[in-house]
Chains A and B, each alone.
Chain A
Amino acid sequence: MNIFKDSGHLFKFAACFVIGFLIYLGLRGFVVPKTFGQYGHYRGSALKDIAAKPIKYAGHQVCEDCHTDQATAKSAGKHVTVNCEACHGALAAHANDPTSVIPVKPDPLVLCARCHTATAAKPKDFPQVNIDEHSGGAPCTMCHTNPHSPAMGAAPAAGGAK
Chain B
Amino acid sequence: MNISRRHMLVLLPAAAVAWESVLAGTPENSPNYNMSEHWWGMLIQIPKCIGCGNCVRACATENDVPDGFFRTWVERYHVTDYNLTEPEVISPNGGKDGFPIVQEDAGKYFYVPKMCNACADSPCTQVCPVGATFVSPDGAVLVDQSYCLGCAYCVQACPYGCRYIHPQKHVADKCTLCYHRITKGLTTACVENCPTGARQLVNLKDPKDPIHAFLKTHTVQVLKPQMATNSKAFYYGLDGSVR
Q: Does B137 contact A (CB under 8 A)?
A: yes
- Contact between A39 and B137 (Cβ–Cβ < 8 Å)? yes
Interface size class of A (residues with CB under 8 A): 35 or more
B contact residues, total (Cβ < 8 Å): 64
Q: Does B101 contact A (CB under 8 A)?
A: yes
> Which residue of chain B has its CB nearest to the CB of A46?
B144
> Which residue of chain A has its CB nearest to the CB of B49?
A123
Give the residues in chain B near A36, CB-CB below 8 Å: 131
Q: How far is the CB of A146 from chain B (nearest CB, A)?
A: 17
Q: Does A55 contact B (CB under 8 A)?
A: yes
Q: How far is the CB of A80 from chain B (nearest CB, A)?
A: 9
Q: Does A96 contact B (CB under 8 A)?
A: no
Give B185-222 interface residues, CB cut-off 8 Å to A. 186-187, 189, 192-197
Give the residues in chain A near B111, CB-CB below 8 Å: 121
Give B148-203 interface residues, CB cut-off 8 Å to A. 176, 179-181, 183-184, 186-187, 189, 192-197
- The CA of A63 and the CA of B147, in the complex, are separated in Å by 37
- Contact between A85 and B193 (Cβ–Cβ < 8 Å)? yes
- The CA of A40 and the CA of B125, in the complex, are separated in Å by 12
> Which residue of chain A has its CB nearest to the CB of B35?
A47
- Contact between A42 and B24 (Cβ–Cβ < 8 Å)? no
Q: Does B146 contact A (CB under 8 A)?
A: yes
- Contact between B197 and A81 (Cβ–Cβ < 8 Å)? yes
- The CA of A81 and the CA of B49, in the complex, are separated in Å by 13
Knowing A34-B25, A51-B179 touch, does A121 contact B13 (C-beta < 8 A)? no
Q: Does B1 contact A (CB under 8 A)?
A: no
Q: Does A26 contact B (CB under 8 A)?
A: yes
Give the residues in chain A near B192, CB-CB below 8 Å: 57, 59-60, 83, 85-86
> Which residue of chain B has its CB nearest to the CB of A54?
B180
> Which residue of chain B has its CB nearest to the CB of A40?
B134
Knowing A42-B144, A55-B62, A123-B48 touch, does A82 contact B195 (C-beta < 8 A)? yes
* Sampled A-B contacts (7; CB under 8 Å): A22-B12, A25-B17, A29-B19, A43-B144, A55-B62, A55-B180, A59-B186
Chain B residues at the A interface, C-beta cutoff of 8 Å:
9, 12-13, 16-17, 19-20, 23-25, 27-28, 30, 33, 35, 47-54, 58, 61-62, 76, 78, 98-99, 101-105, 109-111, 131-137, 142, 144, 146-147, 176, 179-181, 183-184, 186-187, 189, 192-197
